């Protein structure tokens, strides 16, 4: 089962970000994957450190980004498309929301349960519903960045049966350097899941390094270079399911 990640350098305008995403998606689609995934806040201009008003960013990016995701998904016939994240408004609140598409139809969405401090100060609200969707290929769990630090959120997704977890993330220049992907590696090994961590990088790649993580370790990861790249892997679902059976013994 092929999965492609769009590892992106963040630009200064939404149009530049969407153009870069479109070019990378076209490249990924030529490999005929089952899934293509974008990073957290992939369309939002500039660095996360400049994240001041969720309302302002939502007003400026939500509609254009959703139109892009719907149109792109229509063009990706037969490919599940994880649309990174957008700032969604609902009943006067703003959520960091990840969307899953197929053939131009919104299959489902997930609102980040654990927004970070800079998001909360900007007005991002907490979601409250762990999310797993059945697809034609496997059960897909959806988490966003700092959700990985909350064991209850992770456990809820695992308990819902997730086999492949998509984890869109965004780089923060203030984040300490971390060797490897210790949290996701632990999650994958202990629960028998594949993790597709897909990053948005800016001034540096801290936290934003994309990676494919298996119960047996890191299968592939992006370099520290601040540039766009497409990463694709062919996950062996039978091997994963056999490993999961050993965990239940």
Banded pLDDT at 48 (limits 50, 70, 90): confident
Three-state DSSP string of 18-51: HHHHHHHHHHHHCCCCCEEECCCCCCCCCCHHHC
Number of domains in the chain: 1
79: domain CATH number is 3.60.110.10
Q: What is the pLDDT of residue 173?
A: 55
Cα–Cα distance measured from residue 190 to residue 130, given in angstroms and rounded to the nearest whole number: 19
Residue 141 bridge partners (DSSP): 132, 165
Neighbours of 43 (CB within 10 A): 32
For 23, the token pair is: 């070019």
Measure the CA angle with vertex 136, ends 149 and 106; round to 5°. 70
Query: Could you list the residue range(s) of the whole structural domain that residue 20 is in?
Result: 2-247
pLDDT at 176 exceeding the cut of 70: no
pLDDT tops 90 at residue 135: yes
Amino acid 224: pLDDT: 78
Looking at residue 208, its pLDDT comes to: 66
Render pLDDT for 70-88 as a digit per residue (tens, 0 to 9): 999 999 999 999 999 999 9
pLDDT value of position 205: 54
């Amino acid at each position: 089962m092929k999965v492609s990640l769009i590892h992106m350098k963040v630009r200064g305008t939404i149009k530049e970000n969407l153009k870069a995403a479109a070019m990378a998606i076209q490249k990924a689609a030529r490999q005929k994957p089952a899934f293509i995934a974008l990073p957290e806040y992939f369309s939002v201009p500039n660095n996360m450190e400049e994240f001041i008003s969720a309302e302002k960013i939502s007003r400026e990016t939500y509609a254009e980004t959703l139109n892009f995701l719907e149109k792109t998904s229509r063009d990706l016939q037969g490919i599940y498309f994880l649309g990174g994240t957008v700032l969604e408004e609902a009943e006067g609140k703003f959520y960091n929301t990840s969307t899953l598409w197929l053939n131009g139809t919104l299959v489902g969405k997930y609102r980040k349960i654990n927004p970070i401090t800079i998001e909360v100060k900007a007005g991002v609200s907490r979601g409250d519903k762990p999310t797993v969707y059945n697809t034609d290929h496997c059960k897909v769990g959806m988490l966003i960045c700092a959700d990985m630090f909350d064991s209850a959120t992770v456990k809820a997704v695992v308990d819902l049966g997730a086999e492949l977890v998509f984890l869109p993330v965004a780089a923060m220049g203030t984040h300490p350097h971390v060797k490897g992907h210790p949290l996701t590696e632990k999650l994958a090994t202990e629960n028998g899941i594949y993790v597709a961590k897909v990053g948005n990088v800016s001034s540096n790649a801290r936290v934003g390094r994309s990676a494919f993580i298996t119960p047996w370790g890191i299968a592939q990861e992006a370099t520290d270079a601040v540039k766009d790249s497409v990463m694709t892997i062919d996950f062996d679902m039978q091997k994963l399911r056999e490993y999961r059976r050993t965990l239940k013994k």
